[in-house]
Amino acid sequence: MSMSALRLSVVVITKNQAWNIGRLLTSVIEETRSLPAVEIILVDSASTDATVQEAQAYPITILRLHAGQHMNAAAGRYIGARHATGDLVLFLDGDMELYSGWLKLALELLERNATIGAITGGLIDRPIDTRERGLRGIHADDDRFFDVQFGGGATLYRRAVLDQVGSFNPFLFSDEEPDLCLRIRHAGFRVVQTFWPIAYHYSHPPGRYGTIYRRWRRKLFLGAGQNLRYYRGTDLFWPYVRERGYGLLPGAAFLIGLLLLGFSMITRRWQWFGIWTLGAASVVGLDALRKRSLYRSLASVLERIFILDGTVRGFLMAPRAPSSYNPRFDVVQAYVVERTRE
């Protein structure tokens, strides 16, 4: 059966994104209009703004989670996947806008390559206060793609692959995509990325202290440690360490520096701390020259420290079986999709 004849589910996760939900849903509806059967499922994490009210103007299903329970991006995707009925499932975040032409290309690539289990594309970052829609044109006749370790928040999956390896882990505070895609690749499927972008991403500029601090407050640095705890004693532990462990090195180097400082104070051998300080200053200085900003370089150091802190705290958390997650939510709006043509 042709990919274009299969049923597609689009799962959108949101929280307080009334400012963008209309732009996102409009782009999805425009890009899926030619497909025979499409369902759009919005999973809202107890928004306090008008996200749900704005979304009700569109022909979609809306699930609104109750406040006061465990909910995050992974949980939203887990719930959306459980309610999706499509042969293919496309996941999008509420701060995105689907790029024109990408879905058509992705369907063609999936049809020609049975070993692809998940396909994504790059993101075009735009300031969060951008009001106009992204450009609708796309480069023609470029169907190149390459293998990647994981897809991000915007990725298209074969439903049969999700059923085989399991869906998202709803208890992960972050790194749910690397976890799922590692399981997909371990099962013998490919995770690929097109040269075309998949979506526009409207967000605050990365590398700002406020952005990093908000991510820390939302526990978004815990996921790597949680995954290490889940993988302990399995065949996935060392592959995950090799792929994701690099992020721990800068934070570990900082921790070693603190230990050297303590050692120097106790033994009064300041040369060890001096050597570390000189090395750290050299690394930061070179990074600042590369980024042309000392501010961004120091922000990167802070982020790596938070990553190390989050990884340790995440590893210490007791793992919970995804099947034990029992969310409470209301079906605000149900939209039944009928196949329009064969």
Q: Which region holds residue 292: left if phi is over 0, alpha if psi is between -120 and 50, else beta? A: left
For residues 127, 129, 132 and 138, what is the CA-based torsion angle, rounded to 10 degrees? 20
Mean pLDDT of the chain: 87
55-100 pLDDT, tens digit each:
999 999 999 999 989 999 999 999 999 999 999 999 999 999 999 9
Specify the pLDDT at position 140.
Answer: 54
Could you give the residue range(s) of every CATH 3.90.550.10 domain in the chain?
3-204+322-333
Average pLDDT over residues 207-211: 75
Specify the pLDDT at position 342.
Answer: 43
pLDDT at 251 over 90: no
Among residues of the chain, what percentage have pLDDT more than 90? 62
Number of neighbours of residue 295 by Cβ within 10 angstroms = 12
167/192 Cα distance (integer angstroms)? 18
pLDDT at 206 over 70: no
Average pLDDT over residues 153-161: 97
Specify the pLDDT at position 63.
Answer: 97
* Both structure tokens of 299: 């922000």
Specify the pLDDT at position 304.
Answer: 79
Specify the pLDDT at position 341.
Answer: 42
* CA nearest to 227, candidates 185, 171, 184: 171
Q: What residue spans of 137-248 are helical by DSSP H?
A: 159-165, 176-186, 209-217, 223-231, 237-244
Please tell me which residue, 305 or 9, carries the higher pLDDT value.
9
- Within 13 A of 122's CA, how many CA atoms are on the CB side? 10
User: If one looks up domain 3-204+322-333 in CATH, what number appears?
Assistant: 3.90.550.10
112/199 Cα distance (integer angstroms)? 23
Q: Is the dihedral of CA 288, 151, 148, 232 positive or negative?
A: positive
Average pLDDT over residues 98-122: 95
Q: Lowest-confidence range among 120-134, 156-170, 179-193, 215-229? A: 120-134
